[in-house]
């Protein structure tokens, strides 16, 4: 039996894209240069990687007390990050799908929610953290003054997986050091 499903598929294709208004000499890539294949990879990984396990496994969860699905979205679902439009769109889709699936399964006893991590110290962000200027720009915007670590997500996941959240359905909980509060 499956009581808890965590859909944690995620990743971005870093296209070295910069916003149009920040181009220095015209040599950087813009939105218009991002290959459609990169965006498709982001949607496949993030959206399909959440949808498919839910489709296959939630039928096994119906009727089980305390059954829940926790999807991993992103703070970019609330406001897109300028350099990764495909990722931001896909994660917004994960949050929207979370709401849809929550309303679809609520009466069957399965809760569906999501967490939205902010900037985390992971392999996916190593390049950003190593770029001193970008890292300082990011840290300046995080009220907590630091990058998150994976353990920062544990409390939110435990809450959403526990009976303490029995009446929470379709919510995306930001765990972002205050990024969205600014």
**What is the pLDDT tens value at each position of the chain, 182 positions in all?**
899 999 998 888 765 555 555 555 555 667 777 888 888 999 999 999 999 999 999 999 999 989 999 999 999 999 877 677 888 999 999 999 999 999 999 999 999 999 999 999 998 889 889 999 999 999 999 999 999 999 999 999 999 999 999 999 999 999 999 999 98
H helical segments located in 17-164:
36-43, 49-61, 85-105, 126-130, 132-141, 154-161
- The model scores a pTM over 0.75: yes
- What angle separates helix 85-105 from helix 36-43, to the nearest 10 degrees? 30
Check if 87 is active-site. yes
- What angle separates helix 49-61 from helix 85-105, to the nearest 10 degrees? 10
Rg (alpha carbons) of the chain, rounded to whole number: 17
Q: How far apart are CA 102 and CA 112, in angstroms?
A: 5
Pairing of strands 68-72, 4-7: parallel
């Amino acid at each position: 039996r499956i009581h808890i499903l965590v859909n944690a598929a995620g990743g971005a294709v870093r296209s070295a894209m910069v916003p149009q208004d920040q181009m220095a000499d015209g040599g950087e890539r813009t939105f218009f240069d991002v290959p459609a294949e990169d965006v498709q990879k982001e949607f496949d990984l993030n959206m399909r990687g959440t949808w498919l396990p839910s489709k296959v496994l939630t039928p096994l969860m119906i009727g089980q007390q305390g059954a829940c699905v926790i999807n991993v979205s992103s703070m970019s679902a609330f406001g897109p990050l300028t350099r990764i439009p495909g990722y931001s769109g896909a994660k917004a889709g994960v949050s929207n799908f979370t709401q849809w699936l929550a309303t679809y399964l609520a009466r069957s006893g399965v809760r569906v929610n999501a967490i939205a991590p902010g900037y985390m110290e992971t392999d996916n962000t190593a390049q950003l953290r190593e770029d001193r200027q970008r890292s300082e720009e990011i840290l300046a915007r995080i009220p907590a003054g630091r990058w998150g670590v994976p353990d920062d997500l544990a409390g939110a996941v435990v809450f959403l997986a526990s009976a303490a959240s029995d009446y929470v359905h379709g919510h995306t909980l930001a765990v972002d050091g205050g990024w969205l509060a600014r």
